[in-house]
Each structure stands twice: as structure tokens, then as C-alpha cells.
Structure 1
Amino acid sequence: MDTQELLAIAQAVVDEAEALFVRGVGTRERHEKAPGEYVTDVDVRIEEYARTMLIQLTGIPVYGEERGGSLGAEPVWVIDPIDGTANYAVGNPLCSILLSLLVDRRPVLAVSSLPLLGRRLTAVEGGGLMINGAPVARLAAQDKGADNGADKDSSKDIAQVGFSSLSSQTRCEYSTEARHRLLADLSRTHLRPRVTGSVGVDLSFAAQGIFAGAISFSPHAWDNAAGALLVGEAGGVVTDTEGQPWTPDSSGLVVGDHVTHALLLSTMRTALSSGAPCAAEQHEEQYVEYHEEQHAGQQHPKETAER
């Protein structure tokens, strides 16, 4: 199958996932899988449905937030059934379904659905960004002067950037204190940070040009892979937090137009250089235990073979 055929399958799977998603908004059926990290029964139902259908229709294994899997050089679907679960559980519309296809450890296909906002972003490598099935113009750099954002045209001062989470501790690279320091430093530039609680929303907004850029501190491919391709296909800059090409092993992601991306990286280097990595060993142990419990006895034949 070529990527367009695979995209059609992915969109059909997301169609049904959206129906499950919308029916469960505000669910109280949620559990804490690690400190500050929640999962709802809807997360699990969406991933199980998507996993079953994607393997059945394409023969390609799945790597997901709730049921795990394996990431390697071979093609693999990557899914976050509900990105922004804490938002979703209380009815906050800033949440999404993220699905991507990785080949040779890079995203070549992506779907980011924001069901409660009526937006679906899609892309295949080299094909540009589509929103609700229509192609969109590529991003333009924010035209800022050397005076840290002072500009006669006040509309150019509205440069929001996504800063999805201040306190998520699971497998994080930087402490909560370091993130607060970075937030304060960014607030002293012309940029206007926004804490949405959803990496998927941040990256989708950056791809659309709603946000001039975004930072993801998540080390997880299910959070970052789809958005990395979407922003790249929209003409944005996509790197890890060190300015190197993003990979599934990266500790985070920085995206934006060229000017904003450069400012985000330079501010991060200053603000985070003195911040110690977060001490989350206990949280990591609980996180791993949760995945081992959830994944035990539920491996599909193709996934088992992949390992």
C-alpha cells in the first residue's frame, strides 16, 4: 500500500475513534496510572479498537500509550487515543486523537483529530498539510525586529506559543522548577506562552499557525510523532530540545516558524542550563508497572513477532 491508501485507512479508523471519543467526554471512569497521569476507560476502548483495525487492515503493528508495543526501523503505527486526558475527563475541549505511521523511525503519515473543535489535520510526507481535507498555505515567519518584539504593527506582537504542561513528572527530562523558570523567561520576550495541557493541541495549533511555536517536554513518540510531521509539512522548523533532528528517542520537541523556533531554543538553553533533571524514579517505576500489567497477555501475534 502507498501512503495515500494508508492515510485513507487511518482516517476511517479515526472516524470511529472520534465517535467513541465524543460519546465519552467528561467520563468519570478514570484511573491514576502514575502520579498525575490519568487514563480513562475511553482511552483504552479507542486504542483497542484502533489497534485491532489497523493490524487487521494493514498488517502493520501498533505502538500505543495504553497497550505499548515496539518501536524499531520497521513500519509501525503510533497512537495516543486521547492526548490531554485530564482535559477530556472534565469536558475541556483541548484534547485530541493522535495517529501516525513511522517508517525507518520517522513519521511519514499523520492524523491529528480535535473532535471537540471540529478540526482534523492530516499529512503524508512531502504532501503538505491538510485541514478538514483542504490544503493550507505554508507558515510564514514572525517578522520581529532586534528589539525583542517591539513593532509598529501591534498585530505582529500576538505570537502565542504552546507550553503544554508545567508539572508532568512521568519520564520528564527537566524539573517542574526548571519549567517554571523557562515560562517566566519566555514571558519576558514578545512570545505569549499558553499552557493547554495537551501536546497534540499545541502541535496542531502550531501547524495551523494559531501558535507561532510550541515546546513539548514529553519523551513519548505517541505525543510528538504526528505533530512533528504536521508542523514540518506546514513549513515549520522541527527539532528536539537541543536543536537536533527529532527522533522517537528524543526527550522532547520544539517547533515553530524560523524566528520563533530560534527564540524558543535560545531561551531554553539559558533557562534550563542550571536546572537539574527531575527526580522521577518512583513515578517511572509506577508507569512501567502499569504498562506491564496492561500489556500482559494482550500482545497481538504480529507485535510479538516484532519483538
Structure 2
Amino acid sequence: MARSALLNVMVSAAIKAGKSLSRDFNEVENLQVSRKGPADFVSKADIRAEQIVYDELRKARPTYAFLMEEGGEVAGTDGQHTWIIDPLDGTTNFLHSIPLFAVAIALQRGDDIVASVIYNPVMDELYTAEKGGGAWLADRKRLRVASRRHLSDAVITTGIKTQGTSNDALQLRQLASINPAVAGIRRSGSICVDMAWLAAGRYDGVWEAGLKPWDVAAGFLMVKEAGGVVTDFAGQPGSVWNGQVVAGNETIQAALLKTLKPIQ
């Protein structure tokens, strides 16, 4: 795969931020007994990673706007382009020395996500996608969603919130309904990794609610370019703005959606 100049900029930013996170990740165990505690450390780690991404992208495209998990919104003069950035998706994994987390960068042009990068630095897995150009792993392997056609054969992933969120009870009802219908449910702790792995055919489906645009923007395009379908819980075409994702190949996504729709 030949990367566009735009995608090269995004990849460079993600890899630089990933190297910073990797250095910090190797220090996590030593920080478990620090006076300030690991939560303070991880905030510094993701702010540092976000600053690296911001600096790289701002240098390359100085007129573009930003929407960032830590830094919020930064206006641009372009009027059409916005970078959507999650510098560390999978914070709890990071804190517990679990090597499943990612840097995620997406570019929105008008109403469309047109390019995305998801990079897991510990596993050194780089996922990229451009609208109309497919989704790729390490520039060499074109990604396609899995071809399984029955929920009973499918491994589905979700991100169950566990402490005091408004979606707690609903998620537990969804889980109780979906669990007996599928081959297995996984909870990786990183929606960006989940959607990249769905695009790669490792998972067969994803559902989750309570998401922010930076959680799903990069994976949204990745799944679509790998031949997948993404909607909200009502079955409407997926948007990074409504906080809901139901995704998979056409058949699995439809079956997953049918199972979820009646649950209130």
C-alpha cells in the first residue's frame, strides 16, 4: 500500500506518541507505590502523548481544527477539517501493565471521517485507513471483516462500564441477552483496539454505548473500509457523535442489532 502524504503525517504522529507511551508504560510498575500514585502519572503520560500528536499535526496542517480527549477543541481557520485525537485509549489497561492500548487519530472533512490511524505501540501494530482506499495492517495486509454468518459462531466484544454510569443496568440486560447467543464475549478495555481487531477479522462484532467521538472516529472508518457495517442501537447509519456503536459484517451486525433493539 502506498500511503498518501496526509496519512504519512498521521502515522508519523501516532508512532512518535506511541514511543512516548511505551517509555512510560515500562515505568508503570515502579509507580504503583509512588506518593502521587499511578493515576497522576497516567494523566501526564497521555497529556504528553497528545502534545506530541498535536505538535506534529499542527506543523503539517496549521489551518486544521482539533478535537482532543485531553485538550478539548482548538479552532482552525480551514473550516472543513478537524483532527480527532485519543492519545491513550485503554487507560486502565495501561495502569495495570496490560499491553492493550492505542493512540488513535482520525481526520474529519465536512461530515465525513476520511482518514484514520490506530497504533498499539507495545504490540507494534499499525492500522490505517483512508476513505475509498481500504483498511490496512502495517501497510502490507489489507483488512477484511470476518465472514462468519451466525451469532452462534461469533466472538463479540464490548466495553461494559462498571461504576455508576447511567448505562449500567441497560448494559447488563444487553449482556444477558447476547451472551447465550454467541460463541464468546470479550472485553479488551480499548474500543479503538476492538474496532481495529474487528476490521482485521479477529472479532466478529462490537457493541457499546456511552462513547465519545475520539473513542470511535478512527475505528469507525477502519471498520467501514474493511467491509463492515456500523450503526447506532436504532439501526441508523453510524455517527461518531451519538455515542453508540453496533458493528460487524452485514449479517452479524444485523443479527446483533436485532438482539439489541428490544432491550430497553
Task: Say yes or no: TM over 0.5.
Answer: yes
- The answer to whether the 8 Å contact 2:247/2:253 transfers is yes
2:156 corresponds in structure 1 to 161
1:44 aligns to 2:47 (yes or no): yes
- The answer to whether the 8 Å contact 2:146/2:203 transfers is no
After superposition, where does 1:146-225 map in structure 2 within 5 Å? Answer: 149=152, 157=153, 159-167=154-162, 175-225=167-217
CA RMSD of aligned residues (A): 2.2
Taking every aligned residue pair, what percent have the same amino acid on both sides? 28
With normalisation by structure 2, the TM-score equals 0.87
Q: Any idea what SS the aligned residue of 1:141 has?
A: coil
Q: Any idea what SS the aligned residue of 1:255 has?
A: strand
- Relative to structure 1, is the Cα distance of residues 257 and 168 closer, same or farther in structure 2, using a 3 angstrom cutoff? farther
Q: Any idea what SS the aligned residue of 1:179 has?
A: helix
2:39 corresponds in structure 1 to 31
Q: Any idea what SS the aligned residue of 1:245 has?
A: coil
How many pairs does the alignment contain? Answer: 251
1:115 aligns to 2:110 (yes or no): no
- Matching residue within 97, 102, 115 for 1:96: 102
Consecutive unaligned residues of structure 2, counting only runs of 5 or more, are 32-36
- The answer to whether the 8 Å contact 1:121/1:131 transfers is yes
Consecutive unaligned residues of structure 1, counting only runs of 5 or more, are 33-37, 150-156, 274-307
1:13 aligns to 2:13 (yes or no): yes
| CA deviation map 1:210-256 (0-9, x unaligned) | 00011131331100010010000000111122211222321211110
For 2:233 and 2:183, the matched residues in 1 are separated by 18
- Relative to structure 1, is the Cα distance of residues 117 and 21 closer, same or farther in structure 2, using a 3 angstrom cutoff? same
- Matching residue within 53, 68, 79 for 2:85: 79
- The answer to whether the 8 Å contact 1:160/1:211 transfers is yes
Shift in Å, 1:140 = 4.4
- Relative to structure 1, is the Cα distance of residues 212 and 108 closer, same or farther in structure 2, using a 3 angstrom cutoff? same
For 2:148 and 2:261, the matched residues in 1 are separated by 21
Shift in Å, 1:192 = 1.5
Segments of 4+ in structure 1 off by > 6 A?
none
2:68 corresponds in structure 1 to 64
- The answer to whether the 8 Å contact 1:18/1:115 transfers is yes
For 2:163 and 2:192, the matched residues in 1 are separated by 15
Q: Any idea what SS the aligned residue of 2:122 has?
A: helix
For 1:91 and 1:140, the matched residues in 2 are separated by 29
